[in-house]
Structures are given as C-alpha cells and as structure tokens.
Amino acid sequence: MTQSSQGSDGESLSTNENLDNTSASGVQGLVADWASDVEVFKDVPWGKAMMWIFLLSDTFIFTCFLTGYMTVRISTTVPWPIPSEVFALTIAGHHIPLVLIAIMTFILITSSGTMAMAVNFGYRKNRKVAAILMFVTALFGASFVGMQVFEWTKLIVDEGVRPWSNPMGAAQFGSTFFMVTGFHGLHVSIGVIYLSIVARKVWRGDYEHTNYEIIEIAGLYWHFVDLVWVFIFAFFYLW
C-alpha cells in the first residue's frame, strides 16, 4: 500500500511538473509560442520551406494583378478587344487565331514534364540526366520568353498598343496586359537563369551530399510559373 501511494505521489509530481512546463507564462511562454514553428518545420528542408513562403507571397501578388484586371475589364464602358483577333497571326495567307499563344502554352506545359523528370532522376542520383533535363527545361523557358518578345513587338509596332492607349478598344487593355504578362515573363526569365545555374552545379556534382533536394526546390518555382500562366491564358486569351 505504501509503495502504491508513493508511486501515485510520484506520478502526481511528474504530472504537475509537466503541467508547469507546458503552461509556462510570461516571457518564457511567449518565447515558447513564437518558437513553435521550429517543431512544425523541423522535418522540412530549410530551402524548401523558404521557397514555399516565397511562392505564397508571389501568389498574393499575381492574385492582386488578375483581380485588378478582371475589375477593370468588367467595369469599363468601352468595348474590350477580342482576343482571337488581337492575338491572331497570318500564316501563308490564313488568319489563325491564338496560334502563337497555343504554342507558348504547349511549351510551358512540356517544360513542367521535363522538370518533373529532372527531379525524379535527381533523387535517383543520376545527376547527368537530371542536369540535361534541367537544361532542356531552361531552353523551353527561353523559347517562351522569345515568343513573348515577338508578341509584344507585334502589339506595339504593328497594332499600336501602348500601356496608356489602345486603338482597338479599351485603353486599359494595354496597361493590364503588359503589366501581368510582363511580370510573368520576368519570372520565366529569372527561372531560366536559375535553372541553368543549378543544372551546371548538378552536372559537376556539387549537390551530392544534399541528395539533390535543390532540384526539387527549383522545380517548385518552375511549376508555380507554369501554373500562373494557366490562369493568365484563361483570363487574357480565352475570356
């Protein structure tokens, strides 16, 4: 009976100590609460967590841009240009709507596939194939940017569209189009440089000790850029 009582008292003391530790108040409790994120992200690589946080902030920016675009388009009283006519190309005497945009979209979707394959081969520690696939992805991205430059040149030189004016309809068309597609094009350009640098270091084997997690981190950025383009494609070119 005595041993049982002592055991019960010992358990009570231990329980009280745990309650004291978990219910810390004052400065210690505040520090413990603010440091709780360490427990949340303890199993997540630091680079991956920071990339997710960056992409979350970028999501807010693109959301504001697209929301502003939709607000302007809905509220304007001047007719909005018809995308199938504005973004059409004349090839061999035929007026083909959205052909360039379709090719650009296909290129970005394909680049997501090559990037996913690069991540797969990276975790298999096949760094040569992973690096080649990253270079191919970067090449796709560079092709996309080149086509976007061609699209902008056509609108500015041939159609006379400016950020402050538009001969084909609502003046807000130029400002919203150049702002959103330009910001996205900047992301693609940065991604091309980023992927090229990482691919070169992967080819040399600089990330052998980190299990090539950097490839997945770069892939997160690239897939985000591709996903944003899907929304831009739907809002600007199909609506």
Domain that holds residue 186: 44-238
Question: Is 39 part of any domain?
Answer: no
Question: Is 191 part of any domain?
Answer: yes
Residues 6+ apart with CB under 8 A from 17: none
- 89 and 138 in a common domain: yes
- Bridge partner residues of 97 (DSSP): 88
The per-residue pLDDT for 238 is 87
- 234 and 132 in a common domain: yes
Domain count of the fold of the chain: 2
- 15 and 51 in a common domain: no
The per-residue pLDDT for 218 is 96
- 78 and 19 in a common domain: no
- 17 and 53 in a common domain: no
- 167 and 77 in a common domain: yes
Question: Is 195 part of any domain?
Answer: yes
Q: What is the DSSP string of 124-135?
A: TT-HHHHHHHHH
The per-residue pLDDT for 34 is 62
Is the Cα torsion angle 227, 228, 232, 234 positive or negative in sign?
A: positive
- Bridge partner residues of 94 (DSSP): 91
10-residue mean pLDDT series, the chain (239 residues)? 45 46 60 58 75 95 94 90 87 84 95 96 92 97 97 92 89 92 96 97 87 92 96 90
Q: The domain that contains 73 carries what CATH number?
A: 1.20.120.80
- 85 and 17 in a common domain: no
- 223 and 145 in a common domain: yes
- Report pTM: 0.81
- 170 and 84 in a common domain: yes
- 98 and 139 in a common domain: yes
